[in-house]
Amino acid sequence: MTWVNLVIQGILLGGLYALFASGLSLIFGVMKLVNLAHGDLSNMAAFLALIVVDSLGWNPFASLLIVVPLMCGVGYVLQRYLLNRTLERGPMPPLLVTFGLAVIIQNLLLEAFSADSQGLDAGRIEDAALTITGRLAVGWLPLVTMSVAIAVIAGLQFFLGRTQLGRGFRATSDNQSAAQLVGINNQRLYGLAMALALATAAIAGVFIAIRTTFTPDAGSLRLIFAYEAVIMGGMGSLWGTLVGGMVLGVAQTIGSQIDPGFGVLAGHLVFLAVLAFRPEGLFAKQVAE
């Protein structure tokens, strides 16, 4: 296992984390909401995919066709009818409510599916590898994952920068009451933002479920990884989140090589180091206020 191989694996893993993190970034960017239930919602999507795969016999990738729209609906309803009520009341209510939601979702999944490890079988792609040189081989699945992550982030950037709805998201994030004055319905807009964010979370959740086994309580760790990616990358920058994810992925991969139990901790330590020496992140956006 050469170091180059490790680093590449880490980078590709980072793509997955960035995919998780992009939804979080979006939600925080538009609504200033820190969603502590994001990891568990993503996990819920994986379980939904499991249901689709088991009952319809589809390939997990195909199940996204059902799971993503479903999660969009969940996101819209959740935001519009529950989370919107916590906004404009200070930083605590959204945190408390999303934390409560996380606990509820985890335990609902536990009741519905038991604590057993589950997996999504995507067939031969899971083991197939692309041989680049004699000693360098890269798995197809990580490559596809990374490509999807880049496509999603590029898509989000394009959406935010070039479409009227994207401009609406940015305007509302800048000044919520002025946004109302141009005719933007904030409540609806937040619902759409959450729907979009959960779509990315669903994709991420299914991809990670294909890559490794998952359990009902897997959401917490995913949330932590996603936030580590966002904070390291610098809040406010989607591409920064990608880099943050890659840094985390590389740290974890190299860490697991040193010792199998050390991977996750290595990631935490690198995160804490970035926090200590460059708390604004590696690519924080600076805007004159």
Tell me which residues in 135-164 interact with another protein (CB under 8 A): 164
If one asks whether residue 86 binds another protein (CB under 8 A), the answer comes out as: yes
Collect all residues with Cβ–Cβ distance below 8 Å to 102 and sequence separation of at least 6: 36, 37, 39, 40, 219, 220, 223
Beta-carbon count within 10 A of 59 CB:
16
Q: Decide: 247 and 10 in contact? Cβ < 8 Å.
A: no
Minimal distance in Å, beta carbon 216 to another protein? Answer: 9
If one asks whether residue 80 binds another protein (CB under 8 A), the answer comes out as: no
Collect all residues with Cβ–Cβ distance below 8 Å to 271 and sequence separation of at least 6: 228, 231, 232, 248
Shorter beta-carbon distance to another protein: residue 45 or 105: 105
Q: Copy the structure tokens of residue 178.
A: 């002025």
Shorter beta-carbon distance to another protein: residue 61 or 76: 76
Using the rule CB under 8 A, which residue among 140, 157, 159, 268 binds another protein? 268
Tell me the per-residue interface mask from 188 to 217 with another protein, x by CB under 8 A, - otherwise: ------------------------------
Shorter beta-carbon distance to another protein: residue 141 or 235: 235
Residue 182: phi, psi to the nearest 5?
Answer: -100, 5
If one asks whether residue 104 binds another protein (CB under 8 A), the answer comes out as: yes
Tell me which residues in 9-38 interact with another protein (CB under 8 A): 28, 33-34, 36
Which whole-number Å values give the CA distances from 260 to 7, 210, 212, 252, in the listed order? Answer: 16, 21, 15, 10
If one asks whether residue 258 binds another protein (CB under 8 A), the answer comes out as: no
Minimal distance in Å, beta carbon 234 to another protein? Answer: 12
DSSP per-residue codes, 107-144:
HHHHHHH-S--B----GGGGT-EEE-SSS-EEEHHHHH
Interacting residues toward another protein by CB under 8 A: 28, 33-34, 36, 82, 85-86, 89, 91-97, 99-101, 103-104, 107-108, 110-111, 164, 167-168, 170-171, 173-175, 177-186, 220, 223-224, 227-228, 231, 235, 261-262, 264-265, 268-269, 271-272, 275-276, 279, 287-289
